[in-house]
Amino acid sequence: MPPPVLRVALPLPLPTLFDYLPDDPDAPAAGWVGCRVRVRVGPRLLVGLVAAVAEHSEAPGALRTIETRLDPAPLIEGELWTSLHWLADYYRAPLGEVLALALPVPLRQGEALPEPDRDRFAACPEAPPRVRPGGRPAALWEALSAGPCGADDLALIDAGWRPRLRRWEAEGRLRRLPPEPPAPRPAHLALNAEQQAAVDALRGLDGFAPVLLQGVTGSGKTEVYLELLADVLAAGGQALVLVPEIALTPQTVRRFRARLGDAVRVLHSGLADGERAQAWTAMARGEPGVLVGTRSAALAPLPRGRLIIIDEEHDGSYKQQDGVRYSARDLLLVRGQALRVPVLLGSATPSLESLQQVERGRYRRLALTRRAGAGQPPEVTVLDVRAQRLQGGLARESLAAIEATLVAGGQVLVFRNRRGFAPVLLCHDCGYSAQCQRCDSAMTVHAGGRRLHCHHCGAQRPPPNACPDCGSLGLQPQGQGTERLEAFLAERFREVPVVRIDRDSTRRRDALVELLGKLGERPGILVGTQMLAKGHDLAQLALVVVVGVDEGLYSPDFRAAERLSQLLIQVAGRAGRAERRGRVLLQTHHPQHPLLATLLSGGYPAAASELLAERRLLGYPPAAHWALIRAEAQQDADWQGFLDQARTLLAEPALDAGVDLRGPLPAPKPRRAGFQRGQLLLAAGQRPALQRVLDATWRQLHSLPLARRVRWSLDVDPVDL
């Protein structure tokens, strides 16, 4: 019998598997699937996973033999294996890229699974090692003889404990014990009636159930999560909590640990690769625990999963915007179904997608309508800044309110969703503005006016000394960025700390914590972007001033109004978390704008239902289902040509399925980083119709004649155009 053919998924942007022969033809064919192998591709060595075993290969020519098998047993299996296949199918991503994305870097590169880090060790008293009394080995043995020890205990005695323990274990002097079972602590707060009702409803669920926990900011959603997570741990199960990138602060982790203990593991991009591999492996081994993580944690193994929580389910960071373009929220709904467990989506400002599911009876909704504890909802005032002389971008009333808040010992948040010094450098004489040479966008002024940065492609240059168009020396930074607000406020309120929080000021790991630490509980001012909209709890925050919401009111992006509403509600919700009633001042040139009026009178629910009605009228998601093919090239003719070919390929299947093709058209930003960009939109009333068309065509997209001349991508359920 000929040896089986291994069909290997490799991390390459090609829509195929790659066939190889096993190095050991006698290895049982069934044991390969899900194991990593190292193989040669041209001159390169790559690590892939065996996706299937076949009897024959369709590939032309003789097959190569794999170099090495890296796992004796499947690394990915069961529900995760199935769900990752779903991900690759649904988003039309190469399986090898999806599997690579799901693995922590060391495993992706072929390293062995890390040793468990929470196992404990106990001495076998009948087999003592020979050690010199008084030395470190003797101290280690003494500790182990006194009772089971974990890595933390042993590292305190001897930093080099690992090799020694490995030797003793091999010599039969030690026993390895599984990690201590998690022991959640009792809650220190009594749940209020609404929280208790939510917990009771969720405890009563059995099997897959999507539930939207819609609770105003500060209503105690996190306490509801903790209660349910404690149940999961008490039953020896696993749970996943997905949080937005910027919400995973040490304060958040501390809160989970305070209640759930060491069973809380964290997974996010700031961790070292080794730590990520540890957390991943612990979950894969089925250790009871709660994994709290950002987007990529949605791809972690959960063999004993009992509950999935998606906090701030509307958050934009759950959609990956490059490489494998997937929605972690949607993936987790699929995983919840496969695991047959409840999926809890929490938010004060749910996405229109989730609200529509509630309307259709597909998700159940539980509501928390009041702030928990002492907090009251903030008082919101719209400040009409038309025809007002602003100082540093701030209205007279805003400055007075800041002053009064500081004097009363409170903290102030000045919110501006624009980093840098000023959004444009403008010539006062002729109207010239500094543009990025490689994009169709104005450059942002940084470093107090000494640099220009493009926020789209990252290009930087010094500003011109004189206007390149008219020679005038009257070039002036126009408008406010967080940097400029910070400078103005620091000058104006010298007695208090002014701390800026945005992507620039928090580039370094731990910078966010340091900056917030600098402020502490004292009176002071925070200036920042949406990074401040969630995460860290600011107990002393009494006033929020929102500067410049106007761009969001008139943006061409069809999701802008939804995002702006969510952001305003979230930012406003930061005010007055403790005893004092918070105030929110909204500076705008459009006080009569209907969206602001709706938000003020009916809050987020009213705004959301208007926005949803509008989307239905326009036939936009979630009332329609979209896929977007983007292409970019040095020449317009190339992307245009590629998208024309794509349109021809799609035309017939689209017609049969009733899917609309719109384009090719230039992208909303037609030039970026020196590339010309275009797009072709597929729009369908029903998801299955869209999937049918993609099914019939996506592989052929890769082999269109112009596919190699352009950079292109397919985005299923794009969040922006």
Contact positions vs ligand ADP (CB under 6 A): 189-192, 195, 215, 217-223, 372-373
The rounded distance, in Å, linking the Cα atoms of 438 and 675 is: 8
Shortest gap between Cβ of 59 and Zn ion (angstroms)? 43
Q: Going edge to edge, which strands form the sheet with 451-453? A: 444-446, 451-453, 460-461
CB atoms near residue 655 (< 10 Å) = 12
Spatial contact of 247 and 321, defined as CB atoms under 8 Å apart: no
With CB atoms as reference, the residue minimizing the distance to ligand ADP is 373
424 binds Zn ion (CB under 5 A): no
Options 430, 473, 511, 613; binder of Zn ion; rule CB under 5 A: 430
Half-sphere exposure of 30 (CA within 13 A, CB side): 0
Shortest gap between Cβ of 192 and ligand ADP (angstroms)? 4
CB atoms near residue 151 (< 10 Å) = 17
CA distances from 57 to 5, 13, 19, 31 (A): 7, 21, 7, 19
467 binds Zn ion (CB under 5 A): yes
* C-beta closer to ligand ADP: residue 4 or 220: 220
Look at residue 218 and give its three-state secondary structure. Answer: coil
* C-beta closer to ligand ADP: residue 78 or 373: 373
The rounded distance, in Å, linking the Cα atoms of 287 and 293 is: 17
Would you list which residues are annotated within the binding site for Zn(2+)? 427, 430, 436, 439, 454, 457, 467, 470
Shortest gap between Cβ of 442 and Zn ion (angstroms)? 10
* C-beta closer to ligand ADP: residue 368 or 706: 368
Greatest distance between any 2 Cα atoms in the chain: 91
366 binds Zn ion (CB under 5 A): no
Shortest gap between Cβ of 463 and Zn ion (angstroms)? 13
439 binds Zn ion (CB under 5 A): yes
Options 87, 427, 704, 721; binder of Zn ion; rule CB under 5 A: 427
**Candidates 109-117, 322-330, 453-461, 592-600 — which segment interacts with Zn ion by CB under 5 A?**
453-461
Options 469, 521, 557, 579; binder of Zn ion; rule CB under 5 A: 469
Nearest alpha-carbon partner for 315 in 563, 682, 604, 140? 563
Spatial contact of 46 and 66, defined as CB atoms under 8 Å apart: no
Q: Going edge to edge, which strands form the sheet with 411-415? A: 379-384, 583-588, 541-546, 411-415, 524-528, 498-501
Binding partner selected for residue 358 from Zn ion, ligand ADP, none, CB under the kind-specific 5 to 8 Å limit: none
Shortest gap between Cβ of 630 and Zn ion (angstroms)? 17
Shortest gap between Cβ of 361 and ligand ADP (angstroms)? 25
Options 68, 269, 321, 472; binder of Zn ion; rule CB under 5 A: 472
Binding partner selected for residue 373 from Zn ion, ligand ADP, none, CB under the kind-specific 5 to 8 Å limit: ligand ADP
What number of chain residues touch Zn ion (CB under 5 A)? Answer: 15
**Candidates 143-151, 301-309, 435-443, 623-631 — which segment interacts with Zn ion by CB under 5 A?**
435-443
Nearest alpha-carbon partner for 411 in 504, 537, 568? 537
426 binds Zn ion (CB under 5 A): no
Nearest alpha-carbon partner for 477 in 460, 464, 486? 464
Spatial contact of 516 and 574, defined as CB atoms under 8 Å apart: no
Options 243, 267, 436, 538; binder of Zn ion; rule CB under 5 A: 436
466 binds Zn ion (CB under 5 A): no
The rounded distance, in Å, linking the Cα atoms of 675 and 663 is: 18
The rounded distance, in Å, linking the Cα atoms of 377 and 218 is: 9
Binding partner selected for residue 218 from Zn ion, ligand ADP, none, CB under the kind-specific 5 to 8 Å limit: ligand ADP
Options 21, 253, 459, 623; binder of Zn ion; rule CB under 5 A: 459
Binding partner selected for residue 189 from Zn ion, ligand ADP, none, CB under the kind-specific 5 to 8 Å limit: ligand ADP
Shortest gap between Cβ of 243 and ligand ADP (angstroms)? 11
Binding partner selected for residue 439 from ligand ADP, Zn ion, none, CB under the kind-specific 5 to 8 Å limit: Zn ion
670 binds Zn ion (CB under 5 A): no
Nearest alpha-carbon partner for 115 in 323, 274, 353? 274
* C-beta closer to Zn ion: residue 382 or 439: 439
Nearest alpha-carbon partner for 292 in 316, 275, 268? 268
Length of the chain: 721
Q: Which amino acid is at 214?
A: Q
Q: Which amino acid is at 240?
A: L
* C-beta closer to Zn ion: residue 376 or 435: 435
Shortest gap between Cβ of 424 and Zn ion (angstroms)? 13
Residue 427, strand partner residues? 475
Nearest alpha-carbon partner for 100 in 384, 324, 378, 405? 324
Shortest gap between Cβ of 346 and ligand ADP (angstroms)? 7
Binding partner selected for residue 3 from ligand ADP, Zn ion, none, CB under the kind-specific 5 to 8 Å limit: none
The rounded distance, in Å, linking the Cα atoms of 218 and 369 is: 10
Shortest gap between Cβ of 534 and ligand ADP (angstroms)? 8
The rounded distance, in Å, linking the Cα atoms of 332 and 310 is: 8
Look at residue 680 and give its three-state secondary structure. Answer: strand
Look at residue 150 and give its three-state secondary structure. Answer: strand
* C-beta closer to ligand ADP: residue 7 or 221: 221
Binding partner selected for residue 713 from ligand ADP, Zn ion, none, CB under the kind-specific 5 to 8 Å limit: none
Binding site for Zn ion (CB under 5 A): 427, 429-430, 432, 436, 438-439, 454, 456-457, 459, 467, 469-470, 472
